[in-house]
């Protein structure tokens, strides 16, 4: 019986491809969620980084990460709004609309 993944080189190539996909997704999510919250980029990066760390512990990190990161940042946004003196409510609607469209 032959295995789908036949060599360590194939496994390494697949792992590299998944890591590249995770990094591209991380950058895309940062760009999406930092709009309007530029002074809170560090906190948003932390939430996304935490989601990535959790996703990497699963069998399918490339599938878990985008949804988990989106949920974690959405949970963070209300706290940023409270501390964001110049916040304009339209940002939440724009972020929600862009996440649904993605």
Asked whether residue 1 is assigned to any structural domain, the reply reads no
Q: pLDDT: is 99 or 62 the higher one?
A: 62
Asked whether residue 2 is assigned to any structural domain, the reply reads no
Q: Residue 67 has what pLDDT? A: 97
How confident is residue 75, by pLDDT bands cut at 50, 70 and 90? very high
Phi, psi of 5 (to 5 degrees): -100, 110
Q: Inter-axis angle of helices 8-34 and 90-101, to 10 degrees?
A: 150
Report the mean per-residue pLDDT for the chain. 83
Asked whether residue 3 is assigned to any structural domain, the reply reads no
Q: Residue 49 has what pLDDT? A: 97
Structural domains of the chain, count: 1
Cβ-proximal residues to 81 (8 Å cutoff; 6+ apart), any chain = 87, 92
Threshold 0.85, pTM exceeds: no
């Amino acid at each position: 019986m032959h295995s789908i993944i036949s060599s360590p080189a194939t496994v390494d190539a697949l792992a590299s491809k998944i890591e590249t996909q995770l990094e591209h997704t991380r950058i895309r999510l940062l760009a999406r969620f930092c709009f309007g919250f530029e002074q809170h980029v560090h906190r948003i990066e932390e939430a996304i980084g935490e989601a990535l760390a959790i996703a990497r512990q699963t069998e399918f990190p490339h599938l878990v990460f985008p949804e988990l990161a989106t949920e974690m940042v959405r949970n963070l946004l209300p706290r940023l709004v409270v501390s964001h003196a110049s916040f304009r409510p339209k940002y939440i609607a724009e972020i929600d609309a862009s996440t649904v469209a993605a």
